[in-house]
Amino acid sequence: MVANERELLISQGWRQGAVIREIVDDHFTANAHFALNDSDVFLIISQTCDLVNPDYNSEPFFEVLRLTPIKTAPAIEYGGGKNSREIQFQTEINGRIQTFRALPFERFFVDRQLLKLHSHEGHASESEREMITAWLTKRFVRTAFPDSFDRRWKVRVKQIEKVIKRLKLVRDIYIKITPFNEVAKYVEYEVEIYLLMDASDYDDPVIYKEHKKHKADLEAQFGLCADIDLQVIELVSDAEISLRELQELRRWDYSYLSYRSPDEHAPPAKPS
C-alpha cells in the first residue's frame, strides 16, 4: 500500500467496528475455520491504525468476527459481555436496529488488500464496539483460581448458577480470596465478593431491592460450602468503586469456572 491509500481507506470509513455484509471475493473467507452462512455479517475487530497502515508487509491481515443475525431480543445472560462464551447485542447500522450473536472463536484473518474490493455497510455503535473488544480481551486476561477453591464452591454449582442468572444487571463479579494458592483439606479460604453494577441500575431502588435479595441468596449458597469463610458480599456501583480497589480484586469469570459440556470448548482463531 502507498501512503495516499491510507488516506483513501480513512475517507471510505474503514475503521474498527466496520460491518461487512456482502462478500464479493472468495479469498475474503479463505481463512475461515468454520462453516459460513449467507446471512453472516462480519465485524472488523482489528485496531483502526493497523487497518489503514500504509505498510502492507507490517500489517498484511485484518481480523473479523462473524456476527449471526437473530430474531429475538438479546438474552440477558449473554448481554454486556459478561458471558465469555457468547455475546448477544443490538446495534444501529445505517439507521436500522439489528440484533446479533457472536462466538469468540468465530474469527479469522483477511488479506488487507481485499478492502479495495469491498465496501462496508456501516459501523457498530461506539458502545457496542467497545463492549465487544472488551469481551474478547477478557478471554486472555481472566484469572485462574486455585483448584482447591474451585472444588469447594462447585459442590453448590447448580444452586450458585441459578442465583447468578437472577443477578441480571450485575455487570461483573469481583472476588478476593485469601490465601490465593492451593491449600490442604480443612484449611479455610477467606472470601470477599463484590457484585459490580452500572450506577444507573444501582441507584434504581426497585432494581437494587431485587438484586439485594439475590445477593442474600448467593451468600446463603456460599455459606453451605465447606471451608469457605465468606466475609464480605456486596452490591457496588461502578461510580463508587475506585481503580485502586479493583486492582486489589480479581474478576471472577463465572462462565469459565462452571461445568460445561466438552463441545463448548473450541480452538482459537488463527490464519491458515
Find the DSSP H helices in 126-172. Answer: 126-141, 147-153, 157-166
Give this prediction's pTM. 0.66
258 has a pLDDT exceeding 60: no
Which CATH number do you get for residue 71? Answer: 2.30.30.110
**Residue with grid cell 462466538, as numbered in its chain:** 103
101 and 129, same domain (yes or no): yes
Residue 209: CB atoms within 10 A of its CB come to 9
**In sequence order, what are the beta bridge partners of 75?**
none
98 and 15, same domain (yes or no): yes
CA count, 13 A, side-chain hemisphere, 98: 20
Q: How far is residue 189 from each of residues 8, 29, 147, measured CA to CA in Å?
A: 58, 49, 12
* Domain-located, residue 263: no
What domain range is 99 assigned to?
3-141
133 and 153, same domain (yes or no): no
Which CATH number do you get for residue 229? Answer: 3.30.460
- pLDDT tens figures, 35-79: 999 899 999 999 999 999 988 899 999 999 999 999 999 887 788
126 and 63, same domain (yes or no): yes
Cell digits of residue 77: 445472560
7 and 137, same domain (yes or no): yes
Tally the domains of the chain. Answer: 2
* Domain-located, residue 266: no
Residue 131: CB atoms within 10 A of its CB come to 18
- pLDDT tens figures, 118-172: 889 999 988 899 999 988 988 787 788 999 999 999 999 999 989 998 998 998 8
Q: What is the rounded distance in angstroms from the CA atom of residue 174 to the CA atom of residue 238? A: 12
137 and 100, same domain (yes or no): yes
135 and 152, same domain (yes or no): no
